Amino acid sequence: MRGQGFGFIAPLLVLMFVAFNAPIVYMLGLAFWEKGRGFTLQHYEGLLDAPVYLRVLGNTMRVALVATLANVVIGYPLALWMRGLSNRGRMIALSLVVLPFWVSILVRTYAWIVVLGNGGLVNRALQWSGLTDAPVSFLYNELGVTIGMANVLLPFLVLPLFAAMIRIDDRLLQAAASLGAPPRTIFWKVFFPLTLPALAAGTLLVFILCLGFYVTPAILGGGRVPMISNLLDTLINQIPRWETAAAISTILLIVTLLIFAAYRRLDRKASA
Amino acid sequence: MIGNTPWTQRLLTAAGFFGLAFLTVPLLIVIPMSFSSARALTFPPPGLSLRWYEAFFGDSRWMEAMATSASVAAISSVAALVLGGLAVYGLRRGNFIGRGPAEGNFMAPLIVPTIITAIALYLGLAKVGLLGSFLGLVVAHTILNVPLVIMVLGVAIREFDQRIEQVAWSLGASWTYTMRKVVLPNLAPSVFAAWIFAFIGSFDEVIVTSFIAGKYETVPKKMFNELILEVNPTITAVATLLIAFTVLALAAVAFILGRAGKLKQTLV
């Protein structure tokens, strides 16, 4: 019998259309529509004239790229190390990755204020070891924002990467070893290529999340590291320019969806 | 096989420990700091006291925010569970056209950057005059948590043998009876996990709430606003309570799922 089961999704579908799809469409409308004139691109022309928008875009891209790169550098060895652990060790390590993932992003961001502040753990350790005399300022600059974002997003990379790594059959690596391949060759020619789709997918996911990040730059940047989402906040809540906010949101939405489409293709390849 | 020379193995172990420390140490530092007697955030704390917990529990604005957070989370998590649960059951068991796009639509709040959802809801709610209303807040939280419910229950329903339901149907059970007596008891651990995840998701939500809540204060919204202005040690106590709450909630989920032998499939 065709068409069975639609009744189950109908209530949620109605709610989604009214409370999610309609507002998004309304926002797109604000970006491209002018009362009495119809379709217009004037809100986008305004963006190109003001240098502040391009500067914020540059900031966002730079922080997102560095934070994503830091995620790969920290996350790949972590997932690899977890793969080599015993079952019990894997469970413990996995819990320690999953737990921060569920702790409020505000708490995790705030924790960095405590750790990186002038009297915090890191500065105490640096001064005690004699590496520096005066406290290093990690907070309220791009460095702090990047560290905080890399930290918040790390589980998004490690969890899928670890899942892909434990699916790799040990016998493949044993076969390579029995044919005389040294460990380095086994890693780069057999293991790494098999993890590449998951790594690429995870990297794209982290990058997308970086682009729209709001809480961490607002707190750890102290207003000095404006990213796209903080600019949007200003345009909505402080100087009400809704059309400009809608225009920028539309660009961010399209870029996100494009990268997400690429992510989906890679992710399917990674789990195939 | 990988890193089986001693020094690469040692390097890998060091990198692994660094990664875990990077994730967990900041959270572990917050806990002792919340018992500090000093106003400044110096580590280690110069003395111990409960003054920041007293400051939190003694402040009626924090208590009010707590009540708002709890009621929004309670209502929206149940709404997300019921609507999302029904929907994902229909998606997995039904055979109507358009299941793919419908599921994509339900998962969209997870993919669309939250700041954009916040702005779209702000503009939309302002248009219909519901900006700053309790209803708007609950509906927004429901939508944001539906993807979590769909992910957790989607796996559980797919793994539950459909033939068991078909036996119930063929013996003449109505669909409500089958749901109540066959499907729900079997899915109970996953339903509980989905509800907890939705509750945490709502309780911790800050971006959309900051945009649309108007005069309503939730714990994360108040925390965010205070952190933007100045660092107040009371936040350290709030953060510790939130960490404890998350650990307890996840431990409950792990216990229930572990007893049902479903922990592994939900973790990875």
Report yes or no on A55 lying in a domain.
yes
Place of tokens 């606003």: B225
Other CB atoms closer than 10 Å to residue A170's CB: what's the count? 10
Instruction: State both tokens at A104.
Output: 């409020």
Residue B159 banded pLDDT, cuts 50, 70, 90: confident
Residue A37: inside a domain: no
Inspect the interface and report whether the beta carbons of B113 and A155 lie closer than 8 Å: no
> Which domain CATH number covers A132?
1.10.3720.10
pLDDT tens digits, one per residue of A203-228: 999 999 999 899 999 999 888 888 99
Share of chain B above pLDDT 70, in %: 96
Using alpha carbons only, give the angle B131, B132, B135 rounded to the nearest 5 degrees. 85
Residue A137 has pLDDT above 90, yes or no: no
Contact between residue A118 and residue B254 where contact means Cβ atoms under 8 Å apart: no
**Which residues in chain A are closer than 8 Å to B127, comparing Cβ atoms?**
26
Give CA–CA dist B115/A213, Å, rounded.
8
At B18, the pLDDT band (50, 70, 90 cuts) reads very high
Q: How confident is the model at residue A1 (pLDDT cuts 50, 70, 90)?
A: low
Q: Which domain holds residue A205?
A: 43-271
Position B266 pLDDT exceeds 70: no
Cα→Cα distances B168→A229, B97, B178, Å: 51, 26, 6
End-to-end CA distance of chain A: 31
Residue A2 DSSP label: T
Residue A129 lies inside a defined structural domain of this protein:
yes
A205 in a structural domain: yes
Q: B190: distance to nearest CA of chain A, Å?
A: 17
- Residues of chain B found within 8 Å of residue A198, distances taken between Cβ atoms: none
B116–A252 C-beta distance less than 8 A: yes
Say whether pLDDT at A60 is over 70: yes
Residue with tokens 């119809």: A38
Residue position matching structure tokens 């049902």:
B260
Chain B residues lying within 8 Å of A2, measured CB to CB = 95-97
For the segment B181-189, the average pLDDT, to the nearest whole number, is 88
Chain B residues near residue A120 by CB distance under 8 angstroms: 29, 41-43
Distances (CA, A) of A51 to A46, A237, B75: 10, 21, 45
SS (H, E, C) chain B: CCCCCHHHHHHHHHHHHHHHHHHHHHHHHHHHHCCECCCCCCCCCCCECCHHHHHHHCCHHHHHHHHHHHHHHHHHHHHHHHHHHHHHHHHHHCCCCCHHHHHHHHHHHHHCCHHHHHHHHHHHHHHHCCCCCHHHHHHHHHHHHHHHHHHHHHHHHHHCCHHHHHHHHHCCCCHHHHHHHHHHHHHHHHHHHHHHHHHHHHHHCCHHHHHHCCCCCCHHHHHHHHHHHCCCCHHHHHHHHHHHHHHHHHHHHHHHHHHCCCHHHHHC
Determine the distance in angstroms separating the CA of B4 from the nearest CA of chain A, rounded to an integer.
7
Q: ipTM of this model? A: 0.89
What confidence score (pLDDT) does residue B4 get?
A: 59
Q: Which residues of B touch A83 (CB under 8 A)?
A: 2
pTM assigned to the model: 0.90
Rounded to a whole number of angstroms, the distance from the CA of B227 to the nearest CA of chain A is: 6
A145 found inside a domain: yes
Please report how the helices A51-83 and A192-211 are oriented relative to each other, as an axis angle in degrees rounded to 10.
140
Q: B120–A249: do the CB atoms touch at under 8 Å?
A: yes
CA pseudo-torsion sign A175, A178, A183, A186: negative
Q: Report helix, strand or coil for A35.
A: coil
Number of domains comprising chain A? 1
Contacts of A144 in chain B (CB under 8 A): none
What is the spatial distance between Cα A170 and Cα A178, in angstroms, rounded to a whole number?
12
Residues 106-165 of A with CB under 8 A from B: 106-115, 117, 119-121, 124, 151, 154-155, 158-159, 162-163
* Residue A147 placed within a domain: yes
What integer pLDDT is reported at residue B268 of this predicted model? 46
| Domains by residue range for chain B, with CATH | 60-267 (1.10.3720.10)
By the 8 A CB rule, do A210 and A64 touch? yes
pLDDT digits (tens, 9 = 90+) for B92-120: 988 888 999 999 999 999 999 999 999 99
* Predicted confidence (pLDDT) at residue A65 exceeds the cutoff of 90: yes
* Half-sphere exposure of residue B159: CA atoms within 13 angstroms, side-chain side: 13
Q: Do A12 and B146 touch (CB under 8 A)?
A: yes
User: Residue A244 has which token pair?
Assistant: 């400009």
Q: Which of residues 95-134 of B touch A (CB under 8 A)?
A: 95-97, 102, 105-106, 108-109, 111-117, 119-125, 127
Distance CA B83, CA B102 (A): 13
Q: Does A192 touch chain B (CB under 8 A)?
A: no
